[in-house]
Amino acid sequence: MKALLLICHGSRTKAGTEKALEFAKRCMGASDYPIKEVCFLELSAPDISKGIEACVRQGAASICAIPVLLLTAAHAKKDIPEEIRLQQERYPNVEISYGKPFGVHDSLSHLLWERITESVDTFHKNAVILLVGRGSSDPDVKRDLNAIAANLQKNYEVPRVETCFLTAAQPSFEEMLRLSGWGYQQIIVVPYLLFPGILLSGMKKAIAQQQKQSDQNFILCEALGYHPVLQDVLLTRIEEAETKSAVV
């Protein structure tokens, strides 16, 4: 039998874990795999070894493992593949294919535009959109977030779009908040995060602090959350992984 294993990042909070599980299960509902399991890279249980074990225990002869991560960085390129290779040695008769994160996909710009227009009634002529990623030392993260920002600007007549990061990459979110010297009157902050949580709470505090020192209009949009667009992209990544016969 064929199995689908969705690998979420994991969260320090119970609410974060529950949101990830809900998201994964709703996405899995659109697939026809007879065996479907969810596991986590870190911070939450079950881990990847337990996820694969659960698939094998139910009779899986092949497993399609998909990282439920927004961008491609060390987790997707190194940490998860290494763990899967260990499990492949443990179950040599089970074929494991490994897919890609959401990454760069043109339809993601439509989801971003929806989140923006939910929060913004009128765009000021001197407006800027800040697309804020989690961040990583991996240069692919910066490249991909810039590509996603470019797709947003290409598909919609939006003001200037800038990218920044919450950690481990430049420019930082705090630096980009201090844009008063650039002449922007409206700063639309779009968190490129799957779910609200600790990181989004930190963004809210930083914006509130900057608002005290400025007469600019700061608008914070919602996190991406579960959305049919994300489900469709995930199903595309599953279809791509089905053509692979080995871990990449």
**For the residues 207-221, what does the mean pLDDT come to?**
91
pLDDT in tens, 220-230: 999 999 899 99
**Closest Cα to residue 11, out of 27, 22, 2, 25?**
22
Mean pLDDT score across all residues of the chain: 92
**Closest Cα to residue 119, out of 191, 203, 16?**
191
77, 132: one domain: no
pLDDT in tens, 57-98: 999 999 999 999 999 999 999 999 999 999 999 999 999 999
- H-helix or E-strand spanning residue 8: strand 2-8
Number of domain units in the chain: 2
**pLDDT score at 12:** 85
CATH number, domain with residue 65: 3.40.50.1400
133, 49: one domain: no
162, 63: one domain: no
The domain containing residue 132 runs over which residues?
108-220
Has residue 246 got a pLDDT over 80? Answer: no
**For the residues 179-189, what does the mean pLDDT come to?**
81
Helix ranges (DSSP H) in 133-192? 139-155, 173-177
**pLDDT score at 212:** 87
**pLDDT score at 172:** 95
Amino acid occupying residue 110: H
- Give the model's confidence band at 181: pLDDT under 50 very low, under 70 low, under 90 confident, else very high: low
